Amino acid sequence: MTRALIAGCSGLSLTPEESAFYREAGPWGFILFKRNVESPEQVRALCEALRETVGRADAPILIDQEGGRVQRLGPPNWPKYPSGGTYGRIHANDPIVRREITRLGARLIAHDLRAVGITVDCLPVLDVPTPGAHDVIGDRAYGRSPEQVAVLGRAAAEGLLAGSVLPVIKHMPGHGRAGADSHLALPVVDASRAELERHDFAPFRILSDMPLAMTAHVVYTALDPDNPATTSPIVMSEIVRGHLAYDGLVMTDDLSMQALSGSYRERTEKAFAAGCDMALHCNGRMDEMEAVAEGTPMLEGEALRRAEAALRRIGHEAEPFDPVDARARLDAALAMVA
């Protein structure tokens, strides 16, 4: 059976210990980072090896390929891509062009990813930064208004889907107001529920038809002063499944991030008890992965339904596409950004 887990690995190829663990644990999918990337041929072989361990050719393989400072596949083997904020500055007086180029950039990323066997991109970032917030989101955001973030976020998601790659909307229900980097500490947001719904949560409600979402390790005191969204039954039920009307698959952000407390098994069990569908563990450390797997249920029920529905969204041939012409159009548009 398949476990409701997305796991990382430690290097450029699988160790015997990793292969044995994946065969036993049966994760739904995997996630790659820069430590796992050397060349297109190597990444393709790693993806094949990961899928072989679980015996599923459609096992999703994820990556964070946003562009800007969050890009796991990069030069010299892959082109650089702009940050979300760069797309937000294209032709400031022409939102239609801005949307078209954002979609084009994501379509190019999808082309790169599918060529090496990667089928899920942790993009778009739907967080809306506010003045005084930590720069962990910063120029990763498409703009400073919920409207622009939603429009360009949808354009990016559509570009990925056109290339037969699944988008992941993040960080639900909103990390943009956070005053700390959740990789290192637990952010606490004190805004009112009305303000959060109007501003921070709005892009996620607009893109609630997307198949996959990643949580925010952020405390919203107006909703649940004791738990970050990832482990909050209140946020998951009242906001994610309620106000946002989100019925896609919800994965945690990385369970190894320092915003969370408790043992790795405890973190995992709390996330599932809150209502998450899928555990995400990224750093490839075997002792942590084993503890997370111990706290992770098999993929069944509503979570299985959502996972299967997500994979059906990419069960098609990619949209016809000329990558050379597309790259030229993207570069021409970026050359005009101030």
Which residues are marked as active site? Answer: 183, 253
CA 4/CA 259 separation, integer angstroms: 22
CA 214/CA 279 separation, integer angstroms: 10
Question: How many whole angstroms from its chain centre is CA 168?
Answer: 4
- Token code pair at residue 147: 């409207």
Q: Phi and psi for 279 in degrees, rounded to 5?
A: -90, 140
Q: Is the separation of the CB atoms in 146 and 190 below 8 Å?
A: no
Among positive and negative, which fits the CA dihedral 152, 166, 41, 286?
positive
If one counts every other C-beta atom within 10 angstroms of the C-beta of residue 247, the result is 15
- For the chain, what is the HEC assignment? CCEEEEECCCCCCCCHHHHHHHHHHCEEEEEECHHHCCCHHHHHHHHHHHHHHHCCCCCCEEECEEECCEECCCCCCCCCCCCHHHHCCCCCCCHHHHHHHHHHHHHHHHHHHHHHCCCEECCCECCCCCCCCCCCCHHHCCCCCHHHHHHHHHHHHHHHHHCCCEEEEEEECCCCCCCCCCCCCCCEECCCHHHHHHHHCHHHHHCCCCCEEEECCCEECCCCCCCCHHHCHHHHHHHHHHHCCCCCEEECCCCCCCCCCCCHHHHHHHHHHHCCCEEEECCCCHHHHHHHHHCCCECCHHHHHHHHHHHHCCCCCCCCCCHHHHHHHHHHHHCCCC
